[in-house]
């Protein structure tokens, strides 16, 4: 008797997953898996992701819980669920305190509440609190996976008709080639520039060569703000703004407001934010946004 092969868990950024609208339904009698097909051709049954747990909520009852968690990576947010059929994962989610770094393995699914809306989520198989270093390593893994799909999709876009055989000859594995063909038929041509920019932005988290060049410090006539005072001002500004930005405040909006109040340079602001992150006062729920840790 042949054994059913366990599906590989994709390292996949939230933005690509959340833009997926194609699902291939499996056959329970034949024990064939279901897949969510992303715009870049990943045929996803299971996902392994590491990010920042920003929110947990019990949508059920104490007796019959259904936990939902929001877990953010540099590109967006995964919605992760666990209920009575995933008791271990549900118990772990209920005990976690946001914000914290977590690793999640879950089954990919698509839900259509109406004809116009498509929602993606992960049905959690396991979840574990992890370190920031593991999150950074996962970003590198997800970036390598994304780059491979981008290159494969660009090859496919140069073909008059997407061919699995030709993609395999170019060195791509058969499963990815099949996913690329299915994605090309289902989706309008994805914006490759958008995905390449997403790749570069994600790498900014972990690769020093992608860091922005600091702005030269400009001389100021007034007495410079002490570092601790600047950090306190940033936290005060964030507290004032967070009622209207509960899922995170745009980095540029915070910087502009702080620089309107104090005569500082952009590099001073960036250094103060870096110190606040290292002290555990703020974190990034998504790329380009900040949120206070209470």
- Given a contact cutoff of 8 angstroms between Cβ atoms, the answer to whether 66 and 81 are in contact is yes
The C-alpha atoms of residue 153 and residue 40 are separated, in whole angstroms, by 6
pLDDT tens-digit profile of 188-203? 877 899 999 999 888 8
Provide the token pair at 285: 């729920």
Burial of 93 (0-12, 13-18, 19+ CB in 10 A): buried
How much is the average pLDDT of 259-284?
81
pLDDT band at 206; cut points 50, 70, 90: confident
Residue 218 pLDDT > 80, yes or no?
Answer: no
**Which DSSP string corresponds to 120-154?**
EEEEEEEEEE--HHHHHHHHHHHHHHHHHHHHHHH
Integer-rounded Cα radius of gyration of the chain: 22
Domain ranges of the chain: 1-211, 227-292
The answer, yes or no, to whether the previous bond of 185 is cis (omega within 30 of 0) is no
pLDDT tens-digit profile of 110-164? 988 877 788 899 999 999 999 988 999 999 999 999 999 999 999 999 999 999 9
Closest by CA position to 255, among listed 266, 263, 244, 247 = 266
Q: Which of 87-91, 107-111, 145-149, 212-216 has the lowest mean pLDDT?
A: 212-216
Q: Which of 60-69, 184-193, 273-282 has the lowest mean pLDDT?
A: 273-282
Residue 4 pLDDT > 70, yes or no?
Answer: no
How much is the average pLDDT of 249-263?
90
The C-alpha atoms of residue 265 and residue 136 are separated, in whole angstroms, by 28
Closest by CA position to 236, among listed 219, 250, 222, 257 = 257
SS3 labels along 147-204: HHHHHHHHHHHCCCCCCHHHHHHCCCCHHHHHHHHHHHHHCCCCCHHHHHHHHHHHHC
The C-alpha atoms of residue 194 and residue 86 are separated, in whole angstroms, by 36
pLDDT at 53: 92
What are the φ/ψ torsions at residue 254 (nearest 5 degrees)? -65, -45
- Given a contact cutoff of 8 angstroms between Cβ atoms, the answer to whether 201 and 146 are in contact is no
Cα angle 228, 244, 203 (rounded to 5 degrees) comes to 65
Q: What is the CATH number of domain 1-211?
A: 2.40.50.140
Most trustworthy range by pLDDT among 27-41, 202-216, 257-271: 257-271
Most trustworthy range by pLDDT among 43-47, 209-213, 265-269: 43-47
How much is the average pLDDT of 248-267?
89
pLDDT at 181: 95
Closest by CA position to 82, among listed 73, 69, 71 = 69
pLDDT tens-digit profile of 67-86? 999 999 988 899 999 988 88
Which residues lie closer than 8 Å to 168 by C-beta, 6 or more apart?
A: 174, 177
CATH topology of domain 227-292: Arc Repressor Mutant, subunit A (1.10.10)
pLDDT band at 42; cut points 50, 70, 90: very high
> Could you count the other beta carbons within 10 Å of the beta carbon of residue 227?
12
> 69: helix, coil or strand?
strand
């Amino acid at each position: 008797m042949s054994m059913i092969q366990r599906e590989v868990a994709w390292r996949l950024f939230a933005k690509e997953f959340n833009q997926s609208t194609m699902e291939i339904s499996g056959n329970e009698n034949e024990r064939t898996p279901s897949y969510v097909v992303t715009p870049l051709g990943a045929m996803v049954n299971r996902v392994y992701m590491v990010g920042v747990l920003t929110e947990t909520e019990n949508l059920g009852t104490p007796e019959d819980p259904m936990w939902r968690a929001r877990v953010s990576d540099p590109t967006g947010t995964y919605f992760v669920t666990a209920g009575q059929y995933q008791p271990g994962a549900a118990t772990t989610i209920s005990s976690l305190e946001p914000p914290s770094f977590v690793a999640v393995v879950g089954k990919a699914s698509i839900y259509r509440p109406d004809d116009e809306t498509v929602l993606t989520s992960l049905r959690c198989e396991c979840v574990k609190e992890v370190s920031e270093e593991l999150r950074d390593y996962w970003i590198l893994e997800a970036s390598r996976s994304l780059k491979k799909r981008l290159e494969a999709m660009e090859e496919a876009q140069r073909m008059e008709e997407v061919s699995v055989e030709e993609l395999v000859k170019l060195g791509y594995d058969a499963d990815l080639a099949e996913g690329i063909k299915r994605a090309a038929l289902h989706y309008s041509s994805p914006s490759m520039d958008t995905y390449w920019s997403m790749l570069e932005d994600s790498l900014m988290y972990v690769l020093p060569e992608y860091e922005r060049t600091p702005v030269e410090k400009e001389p100021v006539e007034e007495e410079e703000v002490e570092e601790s005072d600047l950090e306190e001002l940033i936290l005060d500004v964030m507290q004032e703004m967070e009622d209207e930005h509960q899922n995170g405040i745009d980095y540029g909006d915070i910087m502009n407001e702080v620089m309107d109040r104090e005569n500082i340079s952009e590099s001073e602001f960036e250094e103060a934010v870096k110190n606040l992150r290292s002290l555990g006062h703020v974190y990034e729920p998504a790329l380009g946004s900040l949120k206070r840790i209470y």
